[in-house]
């Protein structure tokens, strides 16, 4: 198995906090933090991403070194890692515990030798060090509260500045960096962003008080507040980034705008506004101005969307959507051209397999964790922990029909081609839906269901349970009724059943359990075909058969994806560590391609040579 592409999760955002984006010196990639990974994403081809998984805590910030060879990234535990971003292996060059709290920002000096990291520590709010040895080259002092942002002057003599929740900006001379002055009184709320101009002559600060201040880059003295009474910001400002010519800079704000400012005139040259409903999701929490000939700007919405901005256009020229949280549901349309994913917070995305781009339905999505999808021609069906079944029209890529409530929390969904019906199993019942209406249902009394699967060729409905058993129901071809009692109970699994999947056009049933074992049954006879598929070490979250019914793909909480042969049970191929923190979904797209999704918020496309 070989990875073909990584469709990265979008940057992690939090209301009231800046989201720091970084671009490499050539302006071809951006770096950002998401979940426990760092992503380096190609600007022109967002589906082309590199994932660094060295952190053990949620990541918070990533910064390219000016040389372009290394990235420094920080996490919520106070650890900063420096790693090689050019080689394929992403080798970690150093791991440094900086503070005993969240790292909020990192800055490199122009020689790519020194790093200042700041955040929310208990004993100190930051540290200055050389990146290769971790030796101290100064200290961060002068603050009385959390430090949110740091910037180092890119020209000699070196200066550094930090800003934080004590509403102050502290300047340092160095290296070694030592306290020089603390500026208080200009900002009246949390300082969220700082940036020295590329020529080192100026520093711009932005804060939650809606204000933008200009400072002398060499002395640290305040120059002026940059005001534009008509076009200025009307909300907290969270991000600032300079153009390479040092004559203009961009700011991002909670007033849902991104603005370009002219340094000399101290006026707004261009403004973009996002959303017209005042939604918190449209607030802009960060901005980066890569060093590119086309002048492209990239901002980040609170929803995680990356907005590509061109001064010549009044609206974004591209919006890169995706998931921020763990992907908990995955489905593939019968055509194999579009993939659907749902995540922990209820967001649903459709992905074009050819381009790797995502779209978010315009209609209201689920309000809680999406747990599963079922596919039919022209429709996708999704269930979630908001106790609803939703129908998606795949032609318009949006939800259609009414929101259907389920009787209890839905645990599984499957589509029956021969009946043109959807089966949903909840904690209370097995229900049949057609055209948005419940047709019939059967109550569940003797077990707690976990999953469901249906075989159109044999009319067998299988329901997995927490008591390690699988209950099979022989359905009639002529009507929709479900028998009150199962026709048989399969009991060869030794742990709670976590997922079920029937082979196409046969009665072969693959049952994954919470211990990581897969048992293959002939559901029509109850015969156990094999119990040898026991290579996972964590709960099986997903099983998918290829169209020929010769191989299955499985994804597990142990982070691995494994392909098993149903013709030669001893043969398998593994993709170890496919998804950091666990793989929640896996589906065949065609005989040589599978897609997987997991807790890292990524969708990955794999090229498979079946064993």
- Output the domain CATH number for residue 115: 2.130.10.10
Q: Which of 320, 335, 355 lies at the terminal end of a domain, its last residue?
A: 320
Q: Is there a single domain that holds both residue 366 and residue 428?
A: no
In 3D, which of 6, 81, 116 has the Cα closest to residue 50? 6
* Whether residue 565 sits in one domain with residue 421: yes
For 467-502, the pLDDT digits (tens) are: 999 999 999 988 889 999 999 999 999 999 999 999
Asked if 550 and 596 sit in the same domain, the reply is: yes
Give yes or no for residue 275 having a pLDDT over 90.
no
User: CA-to-CA distance for 190 and 120, rounded, in angstroms?
Assistant: 14
Residue 415 has pLDDT above 80, yes or no: yes
- Pair 70, 14 in one domain: yes
Across the beta sheet with 370-376, the strand order is 370-376, 379-384, 388-393, 398-405
pLDDT of residue 174: 84
Co-location of 418 and 553 in the same domain: yes
pLDDT in tens, 175-228: 899 999 999 999 999 999 999 999 999 999 999 999 999 999 999 999 999 988
Residue 166 has pLDDT above 80, yes or no: yes
Beta strands in 53-175 (DSSP E): 59-64, 70-75, 79-84, 92-97, 103-108, 114-119, 126-130, 136-139, 147-152, 159-164, 169-173
Q: Are residues 51 and 104 in the same domain?
A: yes
Tokens representing 73 are 């990234």
Q: Where among 277, 294, 320 does a domain terminate?
A: 320
User: What pLDDT was estimated at residue 352?
Assistant: 96
pLDDT in tens, 65-106: 999 999 999 999 999 999 999 988 999 999 999 999 999 999
CATH number at 372 reads 2.40.10.480
Regarding whether 215 and 94 lie in a shared domain, the answer is yes
Domain housing 334: 324-403
pLDDT digits (tens, 9 = 90+) for 572-590: 999 999 999 999 999 999 9
Query: Within this chain, do residues 371 and 432 fall inside the same structural domain, yes or no?
Result: no
Tokens of 478: 């002529």
* Rounded CA separation 414/425 (Å): 9
Q: Are residues 148 and 259 in the same domain?
A: yes
Over residues 263-275, the mean pLDDT reads 94
pLDDT, position 175: 87
Same domain, 287 and 233: yes
pLDDT at 277 over 80: no
DSSP state of 282: G
Q: Rounded CA gap, 291 and 600, in Å?
A: 29
Question: Coil, strand, or helix at residue 281?
Answer: helix
Structurally, the chain folds into a number of domains equal to 3
| Average confidence score pLDDT of the chain | 95
Share of the chain above pLDDT 90, in %: 94
Q: Does one domain contain both 249 and 392? A: no
The pLDDT of residue 279 is above 90:
no
**Average pLDDT over every residue of 602-610:** 94
Res 278 pLDDT > 80: no
Identify the domain boundary among 264, 293, 320. Answer: 320
Q: Judge contact between 64 and 81, C-beta under 8 A.
A: no
* 217 and 303 co-located in one domain: yes
**Alpha-carbon gap, residue 342 to 323, rounded angstroms:** 8
């Amino acid at each position: 198995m070989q990875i073909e592409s990584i469709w990265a999760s979008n940057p992690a955002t939090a209301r009231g906090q800046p989201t720091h984006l970084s671009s490499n010196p050539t302006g071809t990639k951006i770096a950002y933090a998401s979940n426990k990974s760092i992503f380096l994403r190609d600007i022109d081809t967002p589906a082309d991403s590199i994932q660094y998984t060295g952190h053990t805590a949620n990541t918070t910030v990533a910064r390219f070194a000016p040389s372009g060879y290394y990235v420094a990234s920080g996490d919520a535990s106070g650890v900063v890692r420096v790693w090689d971003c050019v080689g394929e292996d992403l080798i970690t060059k150093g791991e440094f515990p900086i503070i005993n709290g969240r790292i909020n920002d990192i800055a490199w000096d122009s020689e790519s030798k020194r790093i200042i990291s700041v955040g929310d520590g208990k004993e100190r709010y930051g540290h200055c060090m050389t990146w290769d040895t971790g030796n101290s080259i100064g200290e961060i002092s002068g603050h009385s509260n959390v430090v949110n942002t740091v910037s180092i002057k890119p020209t000699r003599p070196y200066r550094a500045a930090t800003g934080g929740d004590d509403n102050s900006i502290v300047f340092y001379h160095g290296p070694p960096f030592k306290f020089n002055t603390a500026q208080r009184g200009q900002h009246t709320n949390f300082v969220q962003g700082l940036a020295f101009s590329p020529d080192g002559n100026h520093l711009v600060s932005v804060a939650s008080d809606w204000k933008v201040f200009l400072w002398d880059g060499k002395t640290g003295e305040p120059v002026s507040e940059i005001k534009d009474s008509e076009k200025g910001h009307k909300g907290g400002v969270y991000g600032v980034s300079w153009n390479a010519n040092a004559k203009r800079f961009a700011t991002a704000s909670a007033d849902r705008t991104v603005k370009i400012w002219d340094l000399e005139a101290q006026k707004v040259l261009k403004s973009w506004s996002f959303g017209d409903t005042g939604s918190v999701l449209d607030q802009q929490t960060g901005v980066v101005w890569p060093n590119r000939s086309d002048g492209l700007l990239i901002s980040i919405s609170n929803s995680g969307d990356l907005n590509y901005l061109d001064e010549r256009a009044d609206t974004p020229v591209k919006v890169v959507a995706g998931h921020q949280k763990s992907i908990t549901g995955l489905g593939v349309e019968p055509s194999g051209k579009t993939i659907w994913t749902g995540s922990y917070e209820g967001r649903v995305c459709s992905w074009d397999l050819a381009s790797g781009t995502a779209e978010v339905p315009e209609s209201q999505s689920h309000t809680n964790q999406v747990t599963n999808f079922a596919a039919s021609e022209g429709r996708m069906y999704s269930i979630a922990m908001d106790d609803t079944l939703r129908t998606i029209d795949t032609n318009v890529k949006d939800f259609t029909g009414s929101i259907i409530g389920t009787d209890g929390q839905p645990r599984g969904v499957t589509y029956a081609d021969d009946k043109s019906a959807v089966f949903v199993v909840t904690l209370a019942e097995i229900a049949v839906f057609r055209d948005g209406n419940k047709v019939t249902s059967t109550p569940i009394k003797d077990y707690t269901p976990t999953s469901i699967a249906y075989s159109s060729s044999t009319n067998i409905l299988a329901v997995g349970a927490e008591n390690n058993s699988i209950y099979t129901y022989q359905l009639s071809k002529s009507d929709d009724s479900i028998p009150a009692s199962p026709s048989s109970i399969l009991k060869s699994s030794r742990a709670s059943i976590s997922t079920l999947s029937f082979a196409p056009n046969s009665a072969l049933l693959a049952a994954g359990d919470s211990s990581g074992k897969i048992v293959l049954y002939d559901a029509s006879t109850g015969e156990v075909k094999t119990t040898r598929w026991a290579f996972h070490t964590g709960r099986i979250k997903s099983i998918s058969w290829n169209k020929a019914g010769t191989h299955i793909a499985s994804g597990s909480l142990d982070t691995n994806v494994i392909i098993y042969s149903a013709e030669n049970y001893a043969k398998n191929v593994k993709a170890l560590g496919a998804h950091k923190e666990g793989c929640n979904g896996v589906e065949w797209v065609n005989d040589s391609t599978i897609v997987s999704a997991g807790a890292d918020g990524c969708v990955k496309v794999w090229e498979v040579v079946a064993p």
